[in-house]
Amino acid sequence: MRFLKITKNDWARGVEGLKDSFRVFGPVLERSHFNFRPLEKGQEPDFSFRNTRLSPKSTVYPQSEILFTYTLDKSRPDHHVHKEPPRDETPRAILGIRPCDAKAFGLVKLNFDTPEYKDPYWLSAYEATTLVGLACDEPCSACFCTSAGSGPFDEAGLDVLLKDEGDHYLVKVLTEKGGKLVSAAGWAGEASGAEKAFVDGAAVAAEKITSFVSADKLAGKVTNQLHNAKFWDDVAFSCINCGTCTFLCPTCWCFDIQDEVAGTDGVRMKNWDSCMFPLFTLHGTGHNPRGQKTDRVRQRFMHKLKYFVDRYDKGIMCVGCGRCVQHCPVNIDIRRVCEIMNEYEPEPETCPA
């Protein structure tokens, strides 16, 4: 493992240099909140954020993405045939991503990179991306990353981890990709004793996390018993199916496919979608297997906390970033729901005497 120490001037110069060979994304203040955006020449990532309002998933997985283009003009020889648009595979760097959000990419990858099928759009963007994390020294109150399989210094999804030391950064180079980025930025200056600063920093930050979930018993539950449990109506009662939770979440990946035509030119595109919307599962016949609000709220939590756990054996589909907890307009809290599910014991079968 390589450690570097770079001054904030080196940092700024390096970031500018990176823009020659990378598309660089970083947190930017937009009115009241931060989001990850492509950085223009001369624009620095603003690290005075705690975390961004939207997750950085759109840097790899745009909210709307063209899969194919085609023409309906029958005088053209290739009319009605789908053509892949050229993909921008320029290397990308995401600067200042929080460790939990980086870990989330690894969970989403399980969906888009399977033994049977690979999503070339998501995967090529992901592979072109180098993730430069910023360790969380001051986690938010709604964060519960340490009990959701991640943590304020989690290295799992990252290529590089930065630790802010006031007038300089300590840099931990985690992967080969990370090494290349560091060289491209011209960052040198080995910091041999820095290991300890990361270990200590991680321990201090973890101490500041005050909220937790227990997910240890979820894998052992019987799916249908959890699904049929009586608590779902209560959990879903106040939900207004706005979709904020799935929109903000770094691990939510569901999408829709739509065609759009203007004149004789058309595109087929992939758009973010949400299990919270009734149209998501509505059949052409009018039948809807998740027609009630409770069905949809249950789907969101069962997917994250049970189906995903069972399918991949990689823990829950949540990294504890706290966004859905902070921004749900009616305070539906995944920490509480996880607790209810984890502690659930099926009602004893009453003997039909």
Partner 1 sequence: MENPYYPYPVRIASTVIETEDRNLKTFKFEFLDPADEEKFSYMPGQFAELSVTGKGEIPIGIASSPTEKGFLMFTVNKVGVVSSALHNMVEGDIMGVRGPMGNWYPWEKLQGKNVVIIGGGFAFTTLRSSIVYMLHPDNRKKFGDIHVVYGARSPGMLLYRDELAEWERRDDINMHITVDRADDPDWKYNVGFVPSITEKNAPKADNDTYAIVCGPPIMIKFTQPVLEKLGYAHDHIIMSLENRMKCGIGMCGRCNIGMEFVCKDGPVFTLEELNRTPREY
Ligand X SMILES: Cc1cc2nc3c(=O)[nH]c(=O)nc-3n(C[C@H](O)[C@H](O)[C@H](O)COP(=O)(O)OP(=O)(O)OC[C@H]3O[C@@H](n4cnc5c(N)ncnc54)[C@H](O)[C@@H]3O)c2cc1C
| Residues at the contact surface with ligand SF4, assessed by CB under 6 A | 239-245, 248-251, 276, 304, 318-325, 328-330, 332, 334
The residue within the footprint of partner 1, chosen from 172, 177, 290, 293 (CB under 8 A), is: 290
Q: How far is the CB of 237 from ligand X (least distance, A)?
A: 29
85 contacts 69 by C-beta, under 8 angstroms = yes
Measured from the CB atom, the residue of 47 and 68 that comes closer to partner 1 is 68
Question: In angstroms, rounded to a whole number, what is the distance separating the alpha carbons of residues 309 and 289?
Answer: 22
Structure tokens at 45: 């990532």
Q: Name beta bridge partners: 174.
A: none
> How is the beta sheet containing 265-272 ordered, strand by strand?
64-71, 265-272, 255-262
Residue range at the interface with partner 1 (CB under 8 A); choices 49-57, 268-276, 324-332, 342-350: 268-276
Structure tokens at 91: 């290397």
245 binds, among ligand SF4, partner 1, ligand X, none (CB under 5 to 8 A by kind): ligand SF4
Residue range at the interface with partner 1 (CB under 8 A); choices 11-19, 30-38, 203-211, 255-263: 255-263
Q: List the interface residues with partner 1, window 301-320 (CB under 8 A).
A: 302-303, 306-308, 310-311
Angle, vertex CA 101, rays to CA 99 and CA 107, nearest 5: 110
Count residues binding partner 1 (CB under 8 A): 53
Q: How far is the CB of 211 from ligand SF4 (least distance, A)?
A: 10
320 binds, among ligand SF4, ligand X, partner 1, none (CB under 5 to 8 A by kind): ligand SF4
Q: Which residue is nearest to ligand X (CB)?
A: 284
User: Does residue 256 interact with partner 1 by CB under 8 A?
Assistant: yes
- Kindly compute the dihedral angle of the four CA atoms of residues 171, 150, 60, 280, in this order, to the nearest 10 degrees: -170
Q: What is the DSSP letter of 75?
A: T
Burial of residue 139 (CB within 10 Å: 0-12, 13-18, 19+) is buried
Q: How far is the CB of 178 from partner 1 (least distance, A)?
A: 24
Binding mask 205-224 for partner 1 (x = CB under 8 A): ------------------xx
The residue within the footprint of partner 1, chosen from 38, 85, 120, 186 (CB under 8 A), is: 120
Structure tokens at 149: 């399989």
Question: In angstroms, rounded to a whole number, what is the distance separating the alpha carbons of residues 276 and 324?
Answer: 13
Strands 92-97 and 129-134: parallel
Q: How far is the CB of 56 from ligand SF4 (least distance, A)?
A: 12
Measured from the CB atom, the residue of 155 and 273 that comes closer to ligand X is 273
234 contacts 91 by C-beta, under 8 angstroms = no
Say which residues have a Cβ less than 8 Å from residue 243's Cβ, sequence separation at least 6: 274, 276, 277
Residue range at the interface with partner 1 (CB under 8 A); choices 95-103, 186-194, 278-286, 318-326: 278-286
Measured from the CB atom, the residue of 212 and 277 that comes closer to ligand X is 277
Measured from the CB atom, the residue of 281 and 326 that comes closer to partner 1 is 281
Nearest to 343 by CA among 237, 213, 236: 213
Burial of residue 259 (CB within 10 Å: 0-12, 13-18, 19+) is exposed
Structure tokens at 57: 């998933």
Question: In angstroms, rounded to a whole number, what is the distance separating the alpha carbons of residues 139 and 50?
Answer: 7
User: Does residue 57 interact with partner 1 by CB under 8 A?
Assistant: no
Q: Contact positions toward ligand X, by CB under 6 A? A: 283-284
Question: Using CB under 8 A as the criterion, which residues of the chain lie in contact with partner 1 when the complex forms?
Answer: 67-68, 70, 72, 79-82, 84, 111-112, 114, 116-120, 123-124, 223-224, 227, 253-259, 261, 266, 268, 270, 273, 275, 280-285, 287, 289-290, 295, 299, 302-303, 306-308, 310-311
